[in-house]
Structure 1
Amino acid sequence: MADSLRLHGVVPPLVTPLGPDGDVDAASLRRLIRFQLDAGVHGVFLCGSSGEVALLDAGQRRVVVETAVDEVAGAVPVLVGAVDSGTRQVIGHARQAGTLGADAVVVTAPYYVQPHPDEIVAHFHAVRDAAGIPLVAYDIPSAVGARLTPDIVERLVETDAVVALKDSSGDLAGFREILRRLPELPALTGSELFADTAVQLGAAGVVPGLGNVDPEGYVRLYGAAAAGDVAAAKAEQDRLARLFTITTVADRRRIGHTAGALGAFKAAVALRGVISDARTSPPLLPLTDAEIREIAALLGDLGLGPLRP
């Protein structure tokens, strides 16, 4: 699969629907995946940051991956996050994902321990050697505390440790440097707001959390940007930027950034009738009814109402 897996296009990092008991709502997850496939996405990413990977237990992870692999049924690549603070734990997550049928795992630097660049490279090599599944490097320093710098990414590519990159660093200049140095590496941006720019610079695709809510919009944006239609891509990006303001609705004096953003994604997808419940994993607190009404109003303004049965 490593030779044939060349990621591109729109690969949304899916939220993890939960039921009132806190267990994974597999029926809602299946509807979410079908919603994405019907929109024309080019892959799906489970157990990422939008999927609350750091808050899921082993049983929840298993249900998510089993459900996704079964529902996708080979239509597009299935990526699964293997994210943890230690190499042994990541190897375990990666092996499980591979056993359950994932096509690749998405791996960050180890978090909490503030690793040296040599330790980061060794971490990826150890996971690659032990897991038996292709690795996608995931740069998200806001959550991990360590960067996958252009130098580190270049070392990983030169040693065949990774097959692609998901960049959520927020450093457009650094991402551009990676594209310049490694033009053959499928590098995807995690930015909702600079997706058009990234593709025009040479990014292979986009991994937008907002794609949970409007995958068709990102598919249109990617198609226009990849075809060189700058005006159409900009227009779609501007519309999606307005939609992205749902992540600012929550009162940050009451809940944190993660709860506000993920709560907004889940609330919007629930309002569209795709998932049954907008709850997030503890300790993340829920949005208020007033905040959800504000999100509903914005969805209505943008013509993103409930899906037709």
Structure 2
Amino acid sequence: MIDKSPGLHGVIPPLVSPLTAEGEVDARSLARLIQHALGAGADGVFILGSSGEGTSLSDDQRARMLDVARSETAGAATLLAGTIEPSTNRVADLVRQAIKFSVDGVVITAPFYVPPHRSEIDRHYRRLAELADQTPVYGYDIPSRVRLKLDSELILELAADGVLAGVKDSSGAELSLRTLVNGRRDRGLTGFSIMTGSEVTVDTAMQLGVDGTVPGLGNVDPAGYVRILSLVAAGDLAGARAEQDRLIRLFEIVTVGDRTRIGAASAALGAFKAAVWLLGVIDCPRLAEPAIGLNDAEIAAIRGRMEAAGLL
């Protein structure tokens, strides 16, 4: 097995993509957002994923995001890039783009739109890992978006063959997470990283043996997730649970958006952007087209929840 993993661990927030009022990438806001995360103790950042609206941005916008993020993280933190498209050929174009910016890893879902067979998912990852060469490839298990649950055994097989350097598990399935952690141990895959994408079960996931977390709410309160990991490492499980419970209450900001007016994804991403805008980190809470952001009343409700969480 070829170990291509840089050893992902700790807190790596999947950052939103700050846009101007005209819908272009806001480089200054992105730089501040990256420093907001790193200054709180995050170990790296993940751009152009689901929280980063990666599938909604143009190639030029993606390139601008990559350029700014590489400049802000160079030599200081891990930079992961989402390369998410429905087919192998389309993902390949994004992988080539990301590699030009010397990212530390690319994050890839299973193919979607045309439902794939297990053997086709296997083929997808193997071909993209060959293209990525020395850039680590991380699997992304997010059934809520691709309508498919990655098979844990397939992930472990790809890890054993040196195809995948790690996985972001956003499935919300505890059995899947346990299977990955136990399978890694049983197969001796010491270089394979397992990161949870859940905002609300980080304390228990760390106790299971995952390496860290990639929480969308980490845009808003990265320090809270850093504290959870520190408390678990120190054996203060009660303290970790208390901090997790605080973040669960804060996570309710994703329910503020009126679902009769906007979609669930817009409500969640709109909440994250509105929250970091209220913190003064980004200049505008606009979402990428065609998503509709939160209105003034909804943003006011988010302000109240942030005040209750001690952030404002």
Number of equivalenced pairs: 305
Match of 1:164 in 2: 166
Shift of 1:74: 1.8
Q: Distance in 2 between matches of 1:128 and 1:301?
A: 45
Alignment match, 1:40: 41
Residue 3 of structure 1: CA displacement?
Answer: 3.9
Q: Which amino acid aligns with 1:55?
A: S
Could you say which residue in structure 2 is the equivalent of 1:274?
281
Matched, 1:226 2:233: yes
Offset at residue 113 of structure 1 (A): 1.1
2:305 maps to 298
Name the stretch that deviates more: 144-153 or 98-107.
144-153
Cα distance in 2 for partners of 1:83, 1:92 equals 10
TM-score by length of 1: 0.96
Q: Please give the alpha-carbon distance, in whole angstroms, between the structure 1 residues aligned to 2:108 and 2:3.
A: 15
Equivalent position amino acid for 2:38 in 1: L
Question: Is the Cα–Cα contact under 8 Å of residues 277 and 284 in structure 2 kept in the other structure?
Answer: yes
- 2:243 alignment counterpart: 236
Contact 2:193 2:211 in 1 (8 A): yes
> What secondary structure is seen at the aligned counterpart in 1 of 2:43?
coil
1:227, CA displacement in angstroms?
Answer: 2.9
CA deviation string 1:218-267 (max 9, x = no partner)? 10011112332211110110000010010111111111110000000000
Aligned to 2:64: 63
Question: Are 2:180 and 1:178 equivalent residues in the alignment?
Answer: yes
The answer to which of 147-156 and 9-18 deviates more is: 147-156
Over 4 Å off, 4+ runs: none
Q: Name the counterpart of 2:120.
A: 119
Could you say which residue in structure 1 is the equivalent of 2:22?
A: 21
Q: Which residue of 1 aligns with 2:147?
A: 145
1:4 to partner: Cα distance: 5.6
Matched, 1:215 2:222: yes
Distance 1:231 1:282 in 2: 43
Q: Deviations over 1:29-86 (max 9, x none)?
A: 0000011111010111000100011111101110001100001122111000011011
SS in 2 for 1:182: helix
More displaced stretch, 221-230 vs 170-179: 221-230
* Cα separation, 2, equivalents of 1:3 and 1:113: 30
Do 1:267 and 1:278's aligned partners in 2 also have CA atoms closer than 8 Å?
Answer: yes
> What percentage of residue pairs aligned between the two structures are identical?
48
Q: For structure 1, which runs of at least 5 residues remain unmatched after alignment? A: none
Gaps of 5+ in 2: none
